[in-house]
Amino acid sequence: MLLRAFAKINLDLRVAGRRADGFHEIRTVLQSIDLHDDIEIEPAGRFEFEGPAGLDDSTNLVVRAVRLFEQEIASPVNVRIRLVKRIPVGAGLGGGSSDAATTIVGLERLTGKRLTGQALMRLLRALGSDVPFFAVGGRAVGVGRGDEIYPLEDDCSYAAVLVTPGFSIRTADAYSWLTVSDISPSIEGFCAQFAPGRGGGEPMNEFEGPVFARYPALGSIRAELLRRGAVRAALSGSGSVVYGVFPSTEAALEASGRMAADFSAVVARPLGRADYFQRMVAAD
């Protein structure tokens, strides 16, 4: 079985004070994009995992996903999994989280043991705050600590240029740099700006201030994307990738080509929810 684990970008991200469980309260709009890792799963005599050097041990989210799935079904999972990474690590694109969620989807299909919705969400939340999004896909709002996901209407009428600066940013470090208020925008007001006809809302990512202060090159990338014709540009998650939104694939390809001399830049398209799941489990 060949699966695609798709990346995401954050179209908006607000952070408020700490919750009683130690996590921050957030409001974010997440969007699936067609940049992906590959996950190959096949039956084996025992569990085996192969991943890129440095990402191939028991701490990998794929391995953790398998172990939690085994606990949930009370049975060992004898499969061989090979992970091929294309999504940059520590980039704010959710690569590890997507790998974990997609692995669970694959294990359900391969073993025929489907989890209830409640059990699936509990397992995904145990793996990480943004992992549940990858069981929903498309465009969605994430609230709470980011693990409460509410689908929004899809909008795939644009292309994005993703610029990778050549370094990663630890999420825990980025949170430690934030100065946040204890007041979050209401869920209703936050979602309203992304309703059809509102133009997608003005993007905001509250990590940009502290992250750009420490990594000025990221602010320069954002300015360059806007200069190259992006209608908006922002940090994804806590970074380090900065993306620009372009009105067409052609415009994105032109901008990407011009920026490629100085940065690693790729063009990605948003994925609607139906397309997301169809392409997750189907070969080209």
Residues with catalytic roles: 8, 130
Residue 190 token pair: 């936050």
Could you give the CA distance from residue 253 to residue 256 in angstroms, rounded to a whole number?
5
Q: HSE of 145 in the Cβ direction (CA atoms, 13 Å)?
A: 15
What residues contact residue 245 under an 8 Å CB cut-off, 6+ apart?
158, 159, 160, 230, 231, 232, 233
Residue type, 158: Y
Q: Are strands 79-84 and 48-50 parallel, antiparallel or unpaired?
A: parallel
Q: Contact at 8 Å (CB) between 217 and 27?
A: no
Q: Contact at 8 Å (CB) between 62 and 109?
A: no
Q: Contact at 8 Å (CB) between 26 and 145?
A: yes
Continuous H helices in the chain: 61-73, 95-111, 117-127, 171-177, 187-192, 208-214, 216-227, 249-259, 273-281
Q: Give the chain's end-to-end CA distance (angstroms, integer).
A: 13
Identify the helix (H) or strand (E) that includes residue 242. strand 242-246
